């Protein structure tokens, strides 16, 4: 079964597409959680122990980059670009930074019925899930490129 540009719909591409869809959903979830917090903070001038507005904007930027990347990587020809796994690794490191930043702020705080704090505690774990997804993606793409380069160009049977 073929797609345009002679890209075959194989099991590996289906798994790749499922993974990118999960990354997109998680990135959009983070956009929603932090965006809601930024919006409510701007309207109500809610204050926390830290000035979290800049860090939340940082998280929004990382989530936006992740969503755009997941959409672009879902295109079959984009995943054939060499060293795509390096960008996945960079996004993994950025998500770890977001997790560390917000984990330090919110994991040890008791929400005491405060829905904003509870929402941020939940967002911290979604940040970690994003980081894990990008790590798995980086490893998978690195393995794909390692094995792809070892096969001959035309038949794919000979090891080069």
Q: Domain map of the chain by residue range?
A: 9-149
150 class by beta-carbon count within 10 Å (0-12 exposed, 13-18 middle, 19+ buried):
exposed
Q: What integer pLDDT is reported at residue 1 of this predicted model?
A: 47
Q: What integer pLDDT is reported at residue 77 of this predicted model?
A: 74
> 16-47: buried (b, 16+ CB within 10 Å) or exposed (e) per residue?
beebbebbbebbbbbbebbbebbeebeeeeee
Q: What integer pLDDT is reported at residue 78 of this predicted model?
A: 73
What is the rounded (10 degree) CA torsion for 63, 65, 68, 71? -70
In CATH, the architecture of 9-149 is Up-down Bundle (1.20)
Q: What is the DSSP letter of 78?
A: G
Q: What integer pLDDT is reported at residue 82 of this predicted model?
A: 73
Counting as low any pLDDT under 50, the low residues of the chain are 1-2, 4-6, 49
Q: What integer pLDDT is reported at residue 5 of this predicted model?
A: 47
């Amino acid at each position: 079964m073929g797609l345009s540009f002679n890209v075959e719909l194989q099991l590996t591409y289906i798994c790749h597409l499922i993974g990118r869809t999960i990354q997109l959903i998680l990135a959009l979830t983070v956009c929603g959680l932090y965006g809601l917090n930024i919006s409510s903070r701007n309207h109500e001038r809610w204050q926390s122990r830290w000035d979290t507005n800049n860090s939340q904007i940082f998280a929004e930027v990382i989530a936006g980059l992740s969503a755009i990347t997941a959409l672009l990587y879902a295109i079959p020809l984009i995943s054939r670009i060499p060293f795509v796994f390096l960008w996945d690794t960079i996004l993994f490191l950025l998500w770890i930074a977001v997790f560390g930043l917000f984990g330090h702020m919110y994991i040890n705080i008791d929400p005491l019925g405060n829905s904003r704090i509870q929402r941020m505690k939940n967002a911290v774990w979604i940040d970690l899930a994003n980081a894990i997804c990008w790590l798995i993606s980086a490893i998978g793409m690195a393995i794909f490129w390692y094995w792809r380069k070892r096969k001959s160009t035309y038949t794919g049977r000979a090891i080069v």
